Structure 1
Amino acid sequence: MERRRYLAAAGALGIAGLAGCFGDDGDDGDEGASGDGVADESNGDDDDEPDAGPAADPVETIDAFLEAAVAEDVDAMDELLHGSSPLRDLLAAQGPPEFEDVDDVERGETDVVVEDASVEDVLELEGASLFVDRDALETVVAEEDVVVVETELETSAALEGDTWVLATEDDEWRVFWVGGRAEPPDDPEGAFAEPIEDEANDVVADVEYDVDPGDDADDEFPDADFARVTLTDSPGTDADAVRIESTIAGDETELTGDEPGGWAGSWAIVALHPDGDQLVVTALSDGTGEVVHRERYEPSSSYSTR
């Protein structure tokens, strides 16, 4: 049985299906300002070819990185990544993102939301605690300037992660991480769909709340509550895999096997937002999914539901 944890955002490598026109956010550009809340330090040159090297402005670095990603220029992307960024290994392992009939990216409103960012400011972003080496990050924070930037991409499909961490290296801004903030929506009730119960136990055998997640999961979701979802020993479906996820906390795990139904009898622990969440179990076959169990978690639910 294989257990794989998927991230809602695997950094900038999660860009997919972007469309639009790469450039500024529509501001005509007052002299001395970029329209992004960051000083414009460009020299005014209007070269035909974009400068793929690190820029003095963090937003310029984001623009250059996006342009390199669209061009599938791995060397340019790597040059724009911080030397301690875990995205360098991800880029080397996964390669550049794939785009379909996309030449440019249009970036919308962009703001520096955290100056002098701390270690915790970075690790709270989705996926960061799993990939970022804390000791290396502490060194970067202590020795370099680190900022958190939020941006919007005006495209047909959003970037998987709209929050960027940039750090200086050799006095130039470079990309350190790209993720998203794991925050509950303003209206959590609106994020919950109607409950679905696997009454026949075709997939789900038991859901138990208030469980000990173990050290690894606790480090990744330090403030979360946890549930253990146990799958049935006698599947009523020959699904290839089973996905277990939480709507608000954004934790997700897939359980598979060597053959359809090979996930039978396995279990997974999923993180839940402590103020309330929704647990969703989906059976996957041939790339399509069917929700077989969905229930709401309330903080007082420290009991088994099955």
Structure 2
Amino acid sequence: MKIILAAPRGFCAGVNMAVKSLELALQHFGPPIYVYHEIVHNQFVVHSFKDRGAIFVNSLSEIPSGSTVLFSAHGVSPAIRTEAKNRDLQAIDATCPLVTKVHLEAIKFAKEHYTIILIGHDGHDEVIGTMGEAPEAILLVEDVADVDQLEFTTQTKLAYLTQTTLSVDDATRIIQRLKERFPWIVGPPKEDICYATQNRQEAVRVLGQQADIVLVLGSQNSSNSQRLRELAAESGKASYLVDGPKDLEREWFRGSETVLITAGASAPEQVVQETIAWLQSHFDASIEEQIVQKEEVVFPLPKALRALQSPSPAT
């Protein structure tokens, strides 16, 4: 068996920043550190932080007054920020800057009296946070069929935004339909789907052609990981989304000579390497890393943590 290891894969700059933020908060303030929703959508990461004293909550009412709370990479609504302040919580905001960009666009369009069409997945943490910026002005659509249900006249100022972790192809189809039905609609100055999501999808699109089977490392509730699996499946490849080697079944690989391995933007490299080791032990697999794009993006830590970061060694 030959393993093609996709690059880029795994942690993006936003996830890396959020994970480092929680690590630093635990080191400096000590456990427990409360986290509003999962820090990132990956079970390996969440469970490892639980073991170190992080407590993940779905409501701020679960957090004792005066405690430290970290907002996840997916962002939160203004109502959550206000509630945290009212409960005297010490908030650390680890929202990905690319998600913050979408929030700011929503605020700007709402102030200019636009009706905003948000393309995204209902119930996703990022969508909930973005819609919370201007709930009276934002409508959610998930697919082209939803767009076809909309009715507006040319008197309505329309704008669209997208969740950052969507399938590029799906978002393009929905945006195209919006423009067909409402030619006067406007979009953000720069597209919202993040660079890491696009790069990982491009790697699967390009490298998947060489493979018999595609393994995506990531959790089931990870939107960008699901899109990678779907993209591989759409190209006719057997594709599986797994948290790690414990989810693998030998029968999947019967007759497969080449396996492409990638990882969603919230999946740590450790699970990639453990999966490779499993394939090597069962199938004597060889490895070839193929780089489709190079990523050098780095996001700064939240202001509340920057002073706590160890200085880089002198060069």
Tell me which interval the TM-score lies in, with the shorter structure as reference length. Answer: under 0.3
**What is the TM-score when the length of structure 1 is the normalising length?**
0.25
Greater per-residue strand proportion: 1
Bigger relative contact order, structure 1 or 2 (CA pairs below 8 A, ≥6 apart): 2
**What is the TM-score when the length of structure 2 is the normalising length?**
0.24
